[in-house]
Structure 1
Amino acid sequence: MKFVSILMGSKSDYEIMQEAAKILEKFGVAHELIISSAHRSPERTHTYVKGAEEKGAKVFIAAAGMAAHLAGVVASLTTKPVIGVPMKGGAMDGMDAMLSTVQMPAGMPVATVALGKAGAMNSAYLAMQILAIEDEELRAKLLEDRILKAKKVESDSNEVEVRI
């Protein structure tokens, strides 16, 4: 069974990261969602990543704030794609998490998306794009979603646009 694994560093990340889960559900993509901290529960994180990989996880999404080491730790434990979602909060309101997530050493890549809700949503879309490389049905669903988004822009514009 192939699925996307979503890890969050703390329960406070759930409200934002459930947006990623909702998108995966909308597209019929199986996923797991757990809380595990790179710092507070490192053994749980290690055990989970290894077990998820054995069960069929194809992409990992890791959300964390402040020091935001979760995505890097996950990347150190797997060769599967890892998508980091930096979370807002702390003294720097998420900038520290953004820098921690994006500044990975060579050979340990973490794809980093935007802070917060937009990042959570984009992490799900990016995970699905990765899966769609070998899943034509999912690729077709993503293409249809893009077409609908483009039509929505046109519709919204038609409601407000003024042209000469």
Structure 2
Amino acid sequence: MAKPFVAVLMGSDSDLPVMMATLDVLKTFSIEHEVKVTSAHRTPAATHAYVKDAEQRGCKVFICAAGLAAHLAGAVAGITTRPVIGVPIDNGPLRGNDALLSTVMMPGGVPVAAVAIGSAGAKNAGYLAAQMLAVADDALALAVKEERAKSALAVEAKDAALQVKLKTL
């Protein structure tokens, strides 16, 4: 049986700098993943074929990044019943607001989980995928909890440093 993996799909290779945040999170948790450029509009047949093939090979979560009309996540959600996370890319004249609306405005029964616009959303897409996989993986669930605790400690350390600095002002 193939090891579960996450498919990270981008509408354009220009989305890669933003999506590196997703890939970094997946790597942090040693989550297997594939990355592919495919388009809901320009290569719909190839997108469909990839999603079906990935699903058969063990893909458990699809993360789809797109700007402007951002139909990639919705198109993928229409093909699979696996969870789909949409990452609106912050490009174009509306700075990703159009992509956000295209991502969240799905018809009932065909959900897409939408995260924030841009790199913060890309990072959260990686964490959300990890949390989804952790439902069936106790070791991953523990790693996600430990990462969250580590993040909390970093905030507490920053506050402690700020308090010291404020006393010297």
Same fold (TM over 0.5): yes
Aligned to 1:90, what secondary structure does the other structure show? coil
**CA offset digits 1:7-51 (Å, max 9, x no partner):** 000011011112111110111100000000101111110011000
The corresponding residue for 2:138 is 136
- 1:5 maps to 2:10: no
Q: If the length of structure 2 is used for normalisation, what is the TM-score?
A: 0.94
1:17-36 superposed matches below 5 A: 17-36=19-38
The corresponding residue for 2:126 is 124
- 1:88 maps to 2:120: no
Q: If the length of structure 1 is used for normalisation, what is the TM-score?
A: 0.97
Shift of residue 91 of structure 1? 1.7
User: What RMSD over aligned residues (CA atoms) do the two structures have, in Å?
Assistant: 0.9
Give structure 1 regions of 4+ aligned residues with deviation exceeding 2 angstroms.
none
Query: Quick one: distance in 1 between partners of 2:68 and 2:85?
Result: 17
1:52-67 superposed matches below 5 A: 52-67=54-69
Aligned to 1:67, what secondary structure does the other structure show? coil
The corresponding residue for 1:97 is 99
**CA offset digits 1:65-94 (Å, max 9, x no partner):** 000000000000000000000011112111
**Given residue 68 of structure 1, which amino acid in structure 2 is its aligned partner?**
A
Identical-residue share of aligned pairs (%):
51
- 1:159 maps to 2:156: no
**Given residue 75 of structure 2, which amino acid in structure 1 is its aligned partner?**
V
Aligned to 2:17, what secondary structure does the other structure show? helix
